[in-house]
Amino acid sequence: MVVIVDYRAGNLTSVVRSLKALGVEGQVTQDPAVVAKAARIVFPGVGAAGTAMATLRELRLDAALKEAFQRGVPILGICLGAQVVLDYSEENGNTPCLGLIPGATRALPLQPGLKIPHMGWNTVRFVREHPISKGLPEGAEYYFVHSYYPSPAEESMILGVTEHGIAFPSVMGRKNLVATQFHPEKSGRFGLRLLENFLAWDGLWPDA
């Protein structure tokens, strides 16, 4: 059983369906006790950092996620779930976040002719080996919907990069946590392969 964190940030059904396509049942929960004791966690989400963090604190899921991280539980953050694992987000006035990965979530810079939100299919260039990217070909495209991006403090925590006006980190990792700015559950066969890799991962990776 894989625990899927429900903090009223949507995007849960597609995650459940993708896991089911891989033969795995996902348990959607708002119960911090279930999250804290989970064997494997998917932390998805769409929306704004301020609302997300307020809800995580209200449901006491912030502490549960930190406890699971400290226990070494494999965790996959997706989209908003990849942004709020950092120290803070520039969204909603420098919102304090979970601090599982040192760094900040930053706004994509406005540029003439550049559409923001960044929405649609785009490539990910993996820059560092990690079990999460096993078997994923160069040039594969994944589905994005976002106006902010994760920016880890240490370059060694950046696993993949995507171009949209700037080259921004689109996959990052620290210890037993990996996170993607794109939506693997909406990214076809390559997204499913990434999810499959996560399900097989033991959570071990050299700390940055």
The residues that are catalytic are 79, 183, 185
Regarding the domain with residue range 2-200, which homologous superfamily does it belong to in the CATH classification? Class I glutamine amidotransferase (GATase) domain (3.40.50.880)
Of the candidates 13, 78, 28, 19, the residue with the CA atom closest to the CA atom of residue 52: 78
**Residue 147: per-residue pLDDT:** 97
Write the pLDDT tens digit of every residue in 17-56: 999 999 999 999 999 999 988 999 999 999 999 999 999 9
User: Which H helix or E strand runs over 122?
Assistant: strand 118-123
Exposure letters 6-25 (e unless 16+ CB within 10 A, then b): bbebebbebbbebbeeeeee
pLDDT (tens digit per residue) in 62-117: 999 999 999 999 999 999 999 999 999 999 999 999 999 999 999 999 999 999 99
Rounded mean pLDDT of the chain? 96
Report pLDDT for 177.
Answer: 98
Residue 45 to residue 55: CA distance in whole angstroms: 12
pLDDT score at 29:
97
In this structure, are residues 109 and 147 in contact, taking their beta carbons and an 8 Å threshold? no
State pLDDT tens for residues 169-197: 999 999 999 999 999 999 999 999 999 99
What's the pLDDT score for residue 49?
97
Residue range 134-178, pLDDT digits in tens: 999 998 999 999 999 999 999 999 999 999 999 999 999 999 999
Q: In what order do the strands lie in the sheet with 101-107?
A: 95-96, 86-89, 101-107, 148-152
